[in-house]
Amino acid sequence: MRVAIVHYWLIGMRGGERVLEALCQLLPDADVFTLFYEPERVSPTIRAHKIHTSFLNPFRRFHRHTLPLMPIALEHFDLRSYDLVISSESGPAKGVITSSNTRHVCYCHSPMRYLWDLYPAYLHEWIRSPVRRASLALCANYLRLWDYSAAARVDDFLANSANVQRRIWKAYRRSSEVVYPPVHTESFYHRSPDDYFLLVSELVEYKRVCDAVTYFSRTGQSLKIVGEGPQYKVLKRLARSNVEFCGRVSETDLRDLYARCRAVVFPGEEDFGIVPVEALASGKAVIALGLGGVLESVPVANPSAGFFYDVPGPEHLGHAIKNFEAGEVHISPIALQHAARRFSTARFMTAVRGHLGIQAVSGAALGAKEAK
């Protein structure tokens, strides 16, 4: 069986790329197709595969501005020789064209947020430039129609959470099966906390990092922010000296930051939220906006695992932080780490393998592939 994996773009290692990495381990002979690719920014496991890029790849530095051309680029991929195509998407990856004999399974992180759920917020609040706002308004209807029709090309949908399962039904009127994304929970560890809070996020509007920067700049408490993105300059101007921007860090350094923080701050509404699971795997509580996938990734039955607030904004975040500080001494790191194990990579692979109806790949075969 010839297998192709289609992933929206490979220009960093975030949650979607962790899913792709697990799929690459599960399917060591699969070819990978992607719109944009920067080899130095993805893991060796992904780089070990044959990777096909689109004709847009030379413009990867400006990938956010090429959205209207992405459907054309995806439909340009030639997938006629593949028996199974797996698309990994929070963008338009499922829009590839396959033959009638090819099974197409889409692992959906979310229907495109800027066209569906979050379109009004992008159009009226988050996009400041009048030119960019007008551009989105002009192309959104065309892209939404194309995205809806592209969903009909998929044979089976897998959703990364019940939250996304509802979005898939709302946007495409398609049923889906929930398969939670993989987290290397066993690689995280706990240490006694230093006096800082941690925020791990791409610096974009919908992550609401500005809420955390505003609150911590007012209080003077220490906050470390890991991540990059177009909002960096805005957030940097807003921040005081107690807010430290760490940029992109190695996996080793990230695990150490998790292990030594007091708690992880999660101020945005996410599809699922791998960061909260990594926090739990480090024995750390999560202070989060209580909307979206975090209500699935953080056990609400354990009041010391998550300290939630219902309305976005620095003031409401502040109330949740005060609640955390009041209950901090009662938190059990071991209990939090145990709660994270239900999102392990092994469970993800078992679920996907069962859905695809494929046999386990031997460790020897996997090691030989990665050695190449």
| Strand arrangement, sheet containing 84-89 | 51-53, 31-34, 3-7, 84-89, 103-108, 156-159, 177-178
The answer to whether the beta carbons of residues 85 and 136 sit under 8 Å apart is no
Rounded distance between C-alpha atoms, residue 63 and residue 264, angstroms: 30
Q: How far is residue 162's CA from residue 297's CA, in Å, rounded to a whole number? A: 11
Question: 63-69 long-range CB contacts below 8 Å, 24 or more apart?
Answer: 63/9, 63/11, 63/35, 63/36, 64/230, 66/35, 67/139, 67/143, 68/139, 68/142, 68/143
Set out the domains of the chain in order of their start, with CATH numbers: 3-182+344-371 (3.40.50), 185-342 (3.40.50.2000)
Compute how many other C-beta atoms are within 10 angstroms of the C-beta atom of residue 128. 9
Using only the alpha carbons of the chain, give its radius of gyration. Answer: 20
Average pLDDT, the chain: 92
Q: Cα(59)–Cα(330) distance, rounded to whole angstroms?
A: 51
Give the pLDDT confidence score for residue 318 in this predicted structure.
Answer: 97
Residue recorded with tokens 């130095």: 40
CA distance linking residue 86 with residue 106, whole number of Å: 6
Q: Where are the alpha helices (DSSP H) in the chain?
A: 15-26, 44-47, 70-75, 119-121, 130-151, 162-172, 209-219, 232-238, 251-260, 274-281, 294-297, 314-327, 333-340, 345-356, 363-371
pLDDT digits (tens, 9 = 90+) for 136-185: 888 999 999 999 999 999 999 999 999 999 999 999 999 999 999 999 99
- CA–CA separation, 187 vs 204, rounded Å? 27
Model pTM score: 0.86
Q: What is the pLDDT of residues 268-320, one digit of tens each?
A: 999 998 999 999 999 999 999 999 999 999 987 788 899 999 999 999 999 99
Instruction: Reply yes or no on whether the pLDDT at 191 is more than 70.
Output: yes
Segment 236-279, tens digit of pLDDT: 999 999 999 999 999 999 999 999 999 999 999 999 989 999 99
- The distance of Cα 244 from the centroid of its chain, to the nearest Å, equals 23
